[in-house]
Each structure stands twice: as structure tokens, then as C-alpha cells.
């Protein structure tokens, strides 16, 4: 078969037959690169099975999906209750965030499940051994190989017959039948396809690490998201000790669970109680901070929102928001100015959420408003007070989901007062020791908080 070339977009992975300046799929400029896709017609895609008959769905037994625990509670939670046999999971994240560390720790905690093969294309086996010693990941059923050639990896899988395969990282693995460089879109797609086939045909659970890279030359895991069963992103700044694992796609579970880890000297530690971690060391009785309660998946999390307002020294005020969407923060500042009557137009405003958490739920609105107002008015919010509620453009407070669950978590962490939207339908179950104040707009909320 003749060698075929295609053009792939390094942003979205779209394939075109000819080169163009602008990707027709995602609209980015100058991102198409030429790739020789195939030399032989052997690879690529699943081979069609002969005599493959459709079967009634109700006759299938559900035990085809076999879950097992990875031994790391936060990882199990993100995967939807454990890893699924025969699935392919892609773990993406910035360099240094801890992807290799997490997967090496799985090797240590999987004891009893069967053998594990760790393929590293980035380190030598000795380096891996040093790290594994530190992480206590040594046990008899863990095999390692330092290899970048896909066929050698597949041979090694045939040899060891592992239950669990870890590839670190997909960008270093290459198929010698393709002429393009390792890490290019064609290679990454082809190798993932081969691993997918391995997972489905032999029932091996495969975890693949993918680097996220802003530069166009290396294909990020974005192009792979369509192929794999589950995509996990590892987030968190490398300087802060906390890491958040988030599912962006999961064929076997929900995608809105997060896992929280702390990077310690002996590897990543699951954080079972993120609220306690996020609130520890909080300044008390100082203006400019307020606690919000947001839902991450099924889990309520309390986080501290801080705001700093100071008179601007330029014509246009500076606005900065970290952890709260910038546009959402601007909207809340405008509501506070117009409806709340605070003259914050002439102030620089900085908003920050502690612990690197992203509050993308509107239930945090009220806490943002109160933190900003507190800084502007130089009056502190009681440190035992939490605020829950979405703020509308007319300054009204809107109801939020799962309020009782949030109140329980708030009370559990020792808060004594909670400001919530006025309730119509939901029957409140107020936990003992928590005073709940129902308000209908931000002016009422501010009166309730800054009473003195």
C-alpha cells in the first residue's frame, strides 16, 4: 500500500486531506502539520469481526463491567467507584504535577489484583526503582520496563500477561511502522489505538499518561479524548502542595467527582476531608474573607473566598480574579455597585480562592459578594459564618440545589451561622447548633452580616 499523508490539527486533532492555514474544525491558525499516516494497511482501527451478531441488550449480564479498587480512595472516587477491567484511562496534566507519582503509587497499592507492568519512556529502570523505594511501591507483582517502541511493549505484555498496564507517557511511545516522530499526532493516535485494542481484547486495564503542552509541535492528549474510556486531568499549581484530580470524560461513571491529594515527601496522600484542608490556617476576624459551600460532584466542599479592595491609582481600576470565573466576578462587582450601593467603581479589586480551587458553581456568588463588601467596608464577616446562594442581576438570591447536604457539612465543620436564600419549596433540615438566616437579596444579606 502506498504511503499516505494527511494533515492533522495539533489543537483538536482534526484530519484534512490538504494543508490549510486555518483548521476547518476548530478555527485555529497555522496548526496543521503533515503526517504520514500509514505504510501498511495492518494497523489503525478495530478489525471488523466476521459473523458478529447483535444480541438483545436485556440478555446481557452486567457483570461484564468488573470494577476493582486501585487502593487509592480518591482515585477510586474519581473513576466512579474503582477501575473497570479492560478500560483505558488517560491521565493528563502539566509537567511536574505528579502523574508518574500517582501511577507508581497504584503499583504499590494494587497488591493482590495481579501483576502490573509499568512502561516508562522517560526514566531508566534504576531511576524508577529509586522513586518506587521512596513511595513504598515495591512488591513482587510489579514489573518495569524502560521502552519506547510500541511493538517491544506489546511483546513484553505477551510475556508478562499483566492485569494492569501503565504507560508513562504516550508521547514517548512510537510505532516503527510509521515514519513520523514520537509524540506527533499520527503516532500518538496510532499507539493509543493499539493500546485500546489490547485493553478490550485481553481485558487489561491500561492507564496512559499524556502531557498537556501548549506548543503545537507535540500532540496533547486532546486528540485522544474521543478514543479512550476515561480522561482524568490532574490540576493544581506545582508550588502548592495540593492537587485535584478531575474526570473530564468517563464512560463508566459520572464526571463531576473530584479527588483531592496532597503532595508530601513520600508521595501523594488522599485528602478525605478537603474542607478541613482548605479552611486550615484561615485568618479570623479580619475583613475581606468569607466562606462558601460548593458541591463538587456529590461532595459539599467549604472554601474560603478572599477579596482585597483598594483605591485605584490609575484611570481604570484593576480587576483580578483567581478561582472565580473573571466574567462572573465582574458581574458580581457590578451588582454590588448598582444594587448594593457600594461605590467600588474607583477601587482595584482582587478576588482569590484559597487552595487553588476553582469555584465554578454559582452557589459561591454570595460569599464573593460578602468578601468584597467586607473588604470595602472594612468590617469583618464572622469567622463562624458561611454563605450559600446564587446572586441574580437584580441582586436577588436564588435557591441552590442540595441545600440540606451543604448545611450538614457547614455544621460539621463547626460553623454556627449560615446565610442562605429564602426557601419556598425545600423543607429545611437544620442541623443542631447551626443558625440559618434566610434572606431574599444581597442588601438583606449584608444587613444580616454587617449588623454592628
- What 8-state DSSP symbol labels residue 226? T
The nearest distance, CB 165 to Mg ion, in angstroms, is 16
Q: Say if CB 380 and CB 285 are below 8 A apart.
A: yes
Q: Does 218 bind ligand TYD (CB under 6 A)?
A: no
Pick the closer one to Mg ion by CB: 113 or 128: 128
Cβ density class 268-293: b for 16+ within 10 Å, e for less: bebbeebbebbbeeeeeeebbbbbbb
Give the span between the Cα atoms of 79 and 70, in whole angstroms: 10
Q: Cell triple for residue 119?
A: 512502561
The nearest distance, CB 133 to ligand TYD, in angstroms, is 10
Q: Does 133 bind ligand TYD (CB under 6 A)?
A: no
Pick the closer one to ligand TYD by CB: 121 or 300: 121
Q: Does 265 bind ligand TYD (CB under 6 A)?
A: yes
Q: Does 100 bind Mg ion (CB under 5 A)?
A: yes
From the list ligand TYD, Mg ion, none, partner contacted by residue 93 (C-beta under 5 to 8 A by kind): ligand TYD
Stretch that binds ligand TYD, among 2-10, 265-273, 342-350, 376-384 (CB under 6 A): 265-273
The end-to-end CA distance of the chain, in Å, is 82
Q: Does 105 bind Mg ion (CB under 5 A)?
A: no
Stretch that binds ligand TYD, among 50-58, 61-69, 99-107, 370-378 (CB under 6 A): 99-107
Q: Cell triple for residue 369?
A: 459578594
Q: Which one of 13, 93, 287, 362 is in contact with ligand TYD (CB under 6 A)? A: 93
Q: Does 266 bind ligand TYD (CB under 6 A)?
A: yes
| Total Cβ atoms within 10 A of residue 245 | 28
Give the span between the Cα atoms of 409 and 301, in whole angstroms: 8
Pick the closer one to Mg ion by CB: 107 or 419: 107
Q: Does 101 bind ligand TYD (CB under 6 A)?
A: yes
The nearest distance, CB 169 to ligand TYD, in angstroms, is 8
Q: Does 131 bind ligand TYD (CB under 6 A)?
A: yes
Q: Does 97 bind ligand TYD (CB under 6 A)?
A: yes
Beta bridge partners of 230: 89, 250
Stretch that binds Mg ion, among 27-35, 92-100, 253-261, 374-382 (CB under 5 A): 92-100
Q: Say if CB 82 and CB 68 are below 8 A apart.
A: yes
Q: Which one of 31, 35, 100, 205 is in contact with ligand TYD (CB under 6 A)? A: 100
Q: Does 246 bind ligand TYD (CB under 6 A)?
A: no
Give the span between the Cα atoms of 80 and 67, in whole angstroms: 9
The nearest distance, CB 127 to ligand TYD, in angstroms, is 10
The nearest distance, CB 312 to Mg ion, in angstroms, is 43
CA geometry: angle 356, 359, 363, nearest 5 deg = 150
Element (H, E) at 336: helix 326-338
Q: Say if CB 70 and CB 76 are below 8 A apart.
A: yes
Stretch that binds ligand TYD, among 23-31, 89-97, 113-121, 222-230 (CB under 6 A): 89-97
Q: Does 96 bind ligand TYD (CB under 6 A)?
A: yes
In this structure, the dihedral spanned by the alpha carbons of residues 69, 72, 75 and 77, taken in order and rounded to 10 degrees, is 60
| Total Cβ atoms within 10 A of residue 24 | 10
Give the span between the Cα atoms of 147 and 130, in whole angstroms: 18
Q: Does 101 bind Mg ion (CB under 5 A)?
A: no
The residue behind cell 476548530 is 26
Pick the closer one to ligand TYD by CB: 99 or 222: 99
Q: Does 303 bind ligand TYD (CB under 6 A)?
A: no
Q: Say if CB 150 and CB 42 are below 8 A apart.
A: no
Element (H, E) at 140: none
Give the span between the Cα atoms of 428 and 436, in whole angstroms: 10
Stretch that binds ligand TYD, among 128-136, 274-282, 353-361, 363-371 (CB under 6 A): 128-136
Q: Does 99 bind ligand TYD (CB under 6 A)?
A: yes
Q: Does 134 bind ligand TYD (CB under 6 A)?
A: yes
Stretch that binds Mg ion, among 97-105, 137-145, 377-385, 431-439 (CB under 5 A): 97-105
Q: Which one of 142, 263, 357, 363 is in contact with ligand TYD (CB under 6 A)? A: 263
Residues 6 or more apart whose CB falls under 8 angstroms from that of 148 comprise 121, 172, 173, 174, 182
Task: Catalog residues that contact ligand TYD under the rule CB under 6 A.
Answer: 93, 95-101, 131, 134-135, 263, 265-267
Task: Catalog residues that contact Mg ion under the rule CB under 5 A.
Answer: 100
Amino acid at each position: 500500500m502506498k504511503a499516505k499523508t494527511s494533515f492533522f490539527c495539533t489543537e483538536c486533532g482534526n484530519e484534512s486531506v490538504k494543508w490549510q492555514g486555518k483548521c476547518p474544525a476548530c478555527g485555529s491558525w497555522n496548526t496543521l502539520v503533515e503526517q504520514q499516516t500509514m505504510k501498511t494497511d495492518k494497523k489503525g482501527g478495530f478489525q471488523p469481526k466476521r459473523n458478529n451478531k447483535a444480541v438483545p441488550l436485556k440478555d446481557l449480564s452486567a457483570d461484564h463491567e468488573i470494577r476493582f479498587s486501585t487502593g487509592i480512595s480518591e482515585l477510586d472516587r474519581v473513576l466512579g467507584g474503582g477501575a473497570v477491567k479492560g478500560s483505558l484511562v488517560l491521565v493528563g496534566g502539566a509537567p511536574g504535577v505528579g502523574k508518574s507519582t500517582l501511577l507508581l503509587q497504584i503499583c504499590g497499592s494494587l497488591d493482590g489484583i495481579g501483576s502490573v507492568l509499568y512502561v516508562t519512556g522517560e526514566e531508566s529502570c534504576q531511576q524508577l526503582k529509586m522513586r518506587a523505594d521512596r513511595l513504598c511501591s515495591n512488591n513482587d507483582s510489579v514489573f518495569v520496563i524502560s521502552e519506547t517502541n510500541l511493538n517491544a511493549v506489546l511483546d513484553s505484555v505477551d510475556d508478562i500477561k499483566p492485569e494492569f498496564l501503565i504507560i508513562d507517557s504516550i508521547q514517548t511511545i512510537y510505532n516503527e511502522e510509521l515514519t513520523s516522530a514520537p509524540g506527533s499526532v499520527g503516532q500518538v493516535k496510532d499507539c493509543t489505538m493499539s493500546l485500546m485494542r489490547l485493553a478490550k481484547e485481553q481485558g487489561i486495564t491500561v492507564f496512559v499518561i499524556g502531557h498537556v503542552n501548549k506548543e503545537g509541535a507535540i500532540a496533547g492528549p486532546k486528540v485522544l479524548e474521543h478514543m479512550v474510556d476515561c480522561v482524568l486531568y490532574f490540576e493544581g499549581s506545582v508550588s502548592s502542595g495540593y492537587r485535584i484530580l478531575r474526570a473530564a470524560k468517563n464512560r463508566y461513571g459520572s464526571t463531576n467527582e473530584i479527588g483531592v491529594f496532597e503532595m508530601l515527601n513520600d508521595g501523594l496522600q488522599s485528602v478525605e476531608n478537603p474542607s478541613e484542608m482548605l479552611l486550615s490556617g484561615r485568618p479570623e476576624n479580619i475583613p475581606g474573607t468569607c466562606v462558601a459551600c460548593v458541591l463538587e460532584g456529590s461532595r459539599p466542599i467549604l472554601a474560603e473566598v478572599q477579596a482585597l479592595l483598594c483605591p485605584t491609582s490609575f484611570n481604570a481600576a484593576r480587576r483580578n480574579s483567581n478561582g472565580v470565573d473573571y466574567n462572573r466576578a465582574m458581574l458580581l462587582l457590578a451588582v454590588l455597585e448598582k444594587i448594593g450601593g457600594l461605590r467600588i467603581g474607583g477601587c482595584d479589586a482582587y478576588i482569590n480562592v484559597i487552595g487553588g480551587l476553582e469555584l465554578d458553581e454559582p452557589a459561591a456568588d454570595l460569599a464573593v459578594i460578602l468578601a468584597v463588601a467586607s473588604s470595602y467596608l472594612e468590617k469583618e464577616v464572622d469567622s463562624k459564618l458561611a454563605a450559600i446562594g446564587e446572586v441574580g442581576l437584580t441582586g436577588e438570591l436564588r435557591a441552590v440545589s442540595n441545600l440540606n447536604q451543604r448545611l450538614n457539612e457547614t455544621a460539621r465543620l463547626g460553623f454556627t451561622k449560615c446565610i442562605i436564600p429564602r426557601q419556598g419549596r425545600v423543607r429545611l433540615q437544620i442541623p443542631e447548633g447551626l443558625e440559618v438566616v434566610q434572606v431574599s437579596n444581597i442588601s438583606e444579606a449584608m444587613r444580616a452580616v454587617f449588623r454592628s
